[in-house]
Every structure is written in structure tokens, then in C-alpha cells.
Amino acid sequence: MALSSTIYNVSVELNDVDRGVYESLALRLAMHPSETMEYMVTRLLAYCLEYTEGIEMTTGLSDGDEPAIVVRDLTGKVTGWIEVGLPDADRLHRASKLASRVAVYTHREMRILLGQLEGRRIHRADEIPIYSFAGNFIRDLAEKFERRVAISLSVTEQHVYLDIGGESLTTVIEEHRL
């Protein structure tokens, strides 16, 4: 018998001053049995930090052909491909041919990801930002995450200010390139 996903209900007050995005989001996140809490909170942050019209979370881990997050225009064409974790070079190569925007958000050790991708053929590799979060931010957020949670997320000059359950967490979004 296959294990089922665990559902998390998350309300997010998003104030992204850098991009001029101010939204109240009510999200249902399904955490796949093989997914870690660190991966899921990184996926949530990526969704919020990339939030735009047409964005959606995919089945991700359940379907190896899809990114964690996709953005489609009104015709259904993929315009954004957002990966989470440690995507391989072939996925990024295919994604950058398919979508005009490709980005990676990782909760893993940056040197491992960069080492895995270094020297590999990736279409438009220099245009793919890889984002990580300073310090223990992801781990601390994962430890505080509950099945029903309200989050206030503000972004100003690449600094993230997050309130979860009355506790404040801060970090800097670090951008890397291949």
C-alpha cells in the first residue's frame, strides 16, 4: 500500500517590495511521503518569491517530468520553470529550452549543486539564477512548520522577514550563477 501525501494549509501575507507584489494567499501544500520538510518549505518560499499570474505548484516529486513550480500564460504555454533542491543538468537544459524563465531554489549545500552542474551542457546556463538562503533559515522554518499555519512574508532588498506563529525569522536571499 502506497503512502499518501500529508496536506498542509498555509495562509501567507506576501509583501514583496522588491517586485511590487502584495497578496494574501491561501495554499494547500501536499507533502509527498519522500519529501522532506526542508524541501517543502523551500518549495513554498520559491512559490511566494516567484508569485505571478499563472503560477502553480505541480505534482513535482510524483511526476519526474514536471518542475516543482510552473508558470503558464493564458494559452497554457510554459513561461516559468522553477526547480527546488538539486536538479540535474539535463532537467535544467530541457527547461531553459522550454521556458523563458528558469530558476532554482535550493535548501542544500550550494557547493554540491554547483559542483554537480559545473561543466555540464545547459542551454542559457548563465541566465539561470540559483537561490539559497543564508544561515539556518530553512531548517528553522521547517522546525516551526505545522499542518495549519499563518505566515507573514516580507521581502526588501533581497532580505526576507518572516513571521510564523509569532516568531520572527530573517535571512538574505543569496543568488548564484553557473
Question: How many structural domains are present in the chain?
Answer: 1
- Domain assignment of residue 168, yes or no: yes
- Domain assignment of residue 92, yes or no: yes
- Domain assignment of residue 114, yes or no: yes
- Domain assignment of residue 91, yes or no: yes
**pLDDT per residue as tens digits for the range 129-170:** 999 999 899 999 999 999 999 999 999 999 999 999 999 999
- Domain assignment of residue 57, yes or no: yes
Cβ-based neighbours of 20, under 8 Å, separated by 6 or more: none
Q: How far is the C-alpha of 36 from the C-alpha of 89, rounded, in Å?
A: 22
CB 83 within 8 A of CB 64: no
Residue 34 pLDDT level (bands cut at 50, 70, 90)? confident
Task: Transcribe 9-35 into DSSP letters.
Answer: EEEEEEEETTTTEEEEEEEEEEE-TT-
Which domain does 150 fall in, by range? 6-176
- Domain assignment of residue 93, yes or no: yes
**pLDDT per residue as tens digits for the range 64-102:** 678 999 999 999 999 999 999 999 999 999 999 999 999
- Domain assignment of residue 1, yes or no: no
Backbone CA torsion sign across 140, 144, 147, 148: negative
Least Cα distance to 92 among 58, 60, 127, 59 occurs for 127
- Domain assignment of residue 135, yes or no: yes
**For position 78, which CATH number holds?**
3.10.640.10
CB 130 within 8 A of CB 104: yes
Q: How far is the C-alpha of 106 from the C-alpha of 120, rounded, in Å?
A: 19
The model carries a pTM of 0.94
pLDDT reported for residue 119: 87
